[in-house]
C-alpha cells in the first residue's frame, strides 16, 4: 500500500496517474491539489476500535471533503488501481471500492463472453 494522500503525499512516491481536468496544471501530480493533504482532523482513516456510529460519521465527513476536491476522479482511480485497502479515497470507503472493483470484474467477464460469442458466430 502506498502512503495515503490525506497526510503524507507530500513525501510519498505515488505514481503520477493523472486525468486532465479543467484548467489544472497538467504537469503537476494530481495529489498536489488534494484538499485533504493536511488531514488534521484524521477523517480519512479509522482509528483502532472505532465504534460503528463514529466510523459512519467520520466517513460522511471525509466524503464531504472529497466532494469539493478537484482531483476526486484521479484519487478514486488511483485507489481502485492500486488497490488501496484502507481509508476513504475519492469519496469512496474501502468497502465501496470493493463493490466497484467487483462490478468492474463482472463487467470484464461479460464483455469477454460477448466478444467470444461474436467471434464464434463468425
Under rule CB under 6 A, residue 92 binds ligand SF4: no
Q: Which three cell numbers stand for residue 97?
A: 471500492
- Could you tell me which stretch among 13-21, 86-94, 105-113, 114-122 binds ligand SF4 (CB under 6 A)? 86-94
* Cβ proximity to ligand SF4, 12 vs 114, nearer residue: 12
**Of 97, 101, 79, 82, residue with least CA distance to 6:** 79
Residue (59 or 69) nearer to ligand SF4, CB: 69
Helices (H), 1-122: 5-8, 52-67, 72-81, 94-121
Name the segment binding ligand SF4 (CB under 6 A); options: 20-28, 47-55, 61-69, 103-111: 61-69
**Residue number, 97 or 110, with CB nearest to ligand SF4:** 97
Cα distances from 120 to residues 10, 106, 108, in angstroms, run 52, 21, 18
Q: Are 69 and 21 in contact (CB under 8 A)?
A: no
Asked if residue 35 binds ligand SF4 (CB under 6 A), the reply is: yes
Interacting residue ranges for ligand SF4, rule: CB under 6 A:
5-6, 34-36, 44, 65-66, 69, 71-72, 75, 88-91
Amino acid at each position: 500500500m502506498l502512503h495515503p494522500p490525506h497526510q503524507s503525499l507530500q513525501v510519498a512516491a505515488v505514481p503520477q496517474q493523472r486525468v486532465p481536468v479543467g484548467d489544472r496544471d497538467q504537469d503537476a501530480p494530481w495529489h498536489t491539489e488534494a484538499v485533504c493533504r493536511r488531514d488534521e482532523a484524521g477523517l480519512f482513516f479509522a482509528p483502532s476500535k472505532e465504534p460503528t456510529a463514529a466510523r459512519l460519521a467520520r466517513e460522511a465527513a471525509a466524503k464531504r471533503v472529497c466532494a469539493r476536491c478537484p482531483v476526486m476522479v484521479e484519487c478514486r482511480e488511483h485507489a481502485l488501481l492500486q488497490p488501496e485497502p484502507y481509508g476513504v479515497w475519492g469519496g469512496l470507503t474501502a468497502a465501496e471500492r470493493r463493490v466497484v472493483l467487483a462490478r468492474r470484474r463482472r463487467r470484464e467477464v461479460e464483455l469477454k463472453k460477448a466478444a467470444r460469442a461474436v467471434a464464434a458466430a463468425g
